[in-house]
Structure 1
């Protein structure tokens, strides 16, 4: 949070990390690629942030360099989270689009809902959390009946004429030996939703990808002994998150350096 005369501007220092896992099923390998770490600083109230370099104590030459990002007009406490999140989501989409353009025949799975920033493409959105039910009454009852590796029929999300319309389907991930009831999970544990832009993928191709997802997604489902978000969180995604977290640096150490920097300026954090 910063200030100018009688105006208070809300903002945030943040670190974002994006990357990909390249899975080669032919030879059974998975490797990290395009790992990028950025430290950013942004403000609300249309206040431009400065490039900020925070020196490391004890004479080290290492610095924490925070790049300014585009400010927003909103100037409320909530802007601190949205500033960082928006930059991260755009970076994820740019990377996914870049990978898809480079390897158009490769199935690119984006961890999360498809976001609209440029134009529709054939990436597959993978939604782990059910914030909204897109199926009405009787159709929604299918979700409780799905076994691991089974999916619902494909349905369409969006209004007629909207180029952001999506094909979508629900799928139960995981394996039959992991009993939700025995582990104390609810009956919708393992249900994920997948989506494709309708403008970019014809229905026949969408059906082909949906059928492919019924064996691909459960194959890479995480296990509850290793991941509390199992089986929805994919094993390659969990491994990527841990690697990116390691490269971002120790949160407690970075927070101490920020507080020390604020104190040197006579600013309360």
Structure 2
């Protein structure tokens, strides 16, 4: 028996590798020759790459009680989305484009609530306002899921706003747009037609199967697999009709140390696939061809980031900016306790 290390730290939510088999069908669309494809470099016409990410945070779990004594679960939460703008040719420094933070009172029920304002004793620390957002169900983690969903939607909208249109021509040599968006995680429903590339840091789903997966261990730095196509949520049932189709391919960012599993340093990428077509648009192939050169530059180093190399350098910098935008968790929690204590005390005295 040979033991290898999963490189990601044990205190992260999941490891870097799980490889649950994908139950649906995956098709070769670029080539039936399953071999490594070298990077082609970054074309000069691509002048801007934006890295988009989001971050959710639960700030307090709540129990709501109405005048009739009915109780329901809720939570104060926050989320933030942001972007970093890069020149893929290194002619300018990276710059923070925008960081947008929002606070939410997520609750279960159909009663309309007013926004909750937490006014500080010190006027210089600002007012915290939680906008109400109702969700269905009464699960204990419902509020957390609602905040996560709102963040993903905001991230999708931000990526769509920043990305260029994505031509779907099969042969146009100039189809690749000037601006590409790298979005942390899979691409989302509603982003079709835009130049958004989703980068998936973990390998939790195996889209390749036993006959293809061996190539991942053989990829050299910057090399990629041929492009594949699958349907989101395909369960393998004969009459299944999925919501959306995706292109996907894998890229190696760096060689894995000998003591780590051989898929360490590999990342999966996604783009939207047009329906009812049996070809790969030229712009998607061009994006795949440049992805190796781009990601090997942006991959983080283990001595600086425990999730290296998949947690890209711009992503790590953006995470720090987003955490600052939400403010100190400890201070926010203290203000919530103070606010609720004052509200309850005033209610009792009244």
TM-score, scaled to structure 2: 0.69
Kindly tell me: are residues 238 and 137 of structure 1, through their superposed partners in 2, closer, same or farther at Cα, counting changes over 3 Å?
same
- The residue number in structure 2 matching 1:212 is 290
Match of 1:166 among 242, 246, 255: 246
Q: Secondary structure at the match of 1:28?
A: coil
Deviation at 1:73, TM superposition (A): 1.5
Aligned length: 261
Q: Distance between the aligned counterparts of 1:118 and 1:34, measured in 2?
A: 19
Comparing 119-128 with 197-206, greater Cα deviation is found at 197-206
Unaligned runs of 5+ in 2: 1-61, 167-176, 235-239, 346-350
Q: Secondary structure at the match of 2:103?
A: strand
- The residue number in structure 1 matching 2:53 is none
Q: Secondary structure at the match of 1:135?
A: coil
Q: Distance between the aligned counterparts of 1:221 and 1:44, measured in 2?
A: 41
- The residue number in structure 1 matching 2:82 is 19
- The residue number in structure 2 matching 1:237 is 315
Write the mapping of 1:148-159 to structure 2, written as runs, cut at 5 A.
148-158=221-231
CA contact (8 A) 1:41 1:49 kept: no
Q: Deviations over 1:219-250 (max 9, x none)?
A: 10000111111000110111111111112111
Kindly tell me: are residues 61 and 150 of structure 1, through their superposed partners in 2, closer, same or farther at Cα, counting changes over 3 Å?
closer
Q: CA RMSD for the aligned pairs?
A: 2.4
- The residue number in structure 2 matching 1:57 is 121
- The residue number in structure 2 matching 1:226 is 304
Deviation at 1:111, TM superposition (A): 1.0
Flag the structure with higher helix content: 1
Deviation at 1:49, TM superposition (A): 3.5
Write the mapping of 1:85-96 to structure 2, written as runs, cut at 5 A.
85-96=148-159
Which structure has more relative contact order (CA 8 Å, sep 6+)? It is 2
Match of 1:191 among 266, 285, 289: 266
CA contact (8 A) 1:43 1:49 kept: no
Q: Distance between the aligned counterparts of 1:211 and 1:161, measured in 2?
A: 30
Q: Distance between the aligned counterparts of 1:89 and 1:47, measured in 2?
A: 25
Q: Distance between the aligned counterparts of 1:212 and 1:148, measured in 2?
A: 13
Q: Deviations over 1:127-154 (max 9, x none)?
A: 1112211111110121222222121111
Unaligned runs of 5+ in 1: none
- The residue number in structure 2 matching 1:146 is 219
Answering whether residue 341 of structure 2 is matched by residue 252 of structure 1, we say: no
Q: Distance between the aligned counterparts of 1:131 and 1:146, measured in 2?
A: 19
Q: Distance between the aligned counterparts of 1:117 and 1:8, measured in 2?
A: 36
Q: Flag the structure with larger Rg.
A: 2
Q: Secondary structure at the match of 2:203?
A: coil
Kindly tell me: are residues 102 and 207 of structure 1, through their superposed partners in 2, closer, same or farther at Cα, counting changes over 3 Å?
closer
CA contact (8 A) 1:10 1:45 kept: no
Q: Deviations over 1:52-86 (max 9, x none)?
A: 110112465721111223x1111211202111101
Q: Distance between the aligned counterparts of 2:290 and 2:195, measured in 1?
A: 14
Q: Distance between the aligned counterparts of 1:215 and 1:59, measured in 2?
A: 49
Answering whether residue 65 of structure 2 is matched by residue 3 of structure 1, we say: yes
Comparing 213-222 with 108-117, greater Cα deviation is found at 108-117
Q: Deviations over 1:14-60 (max 9, x none)?
A: 12111111102341321001211111212123343421110112465
Kindly tell me: are residues 59 and 111 of structure 1, through their superposed partners in 2, closer, same or farther at Cα, counting changes over 3 Å?
closer
Write the mapping of 1:253-268 to structure 2, written as runs, cut at 5 A.
253-266=331-344
Comparing 101-110 with 221-230, greater Cα deviation is found at 101-110
CA contact (8 A) 1:15 1:248 kept: yes
- The residue number in structure 2 matching 1:134 is 207
Match of 2:141 among 58, 61, 78: 78
Kindly tell me: are residues 122 and 101 of structure 1, through their superposed partners in 2, closer, same or farther at Cα, counting changes over 3 Å?
closer
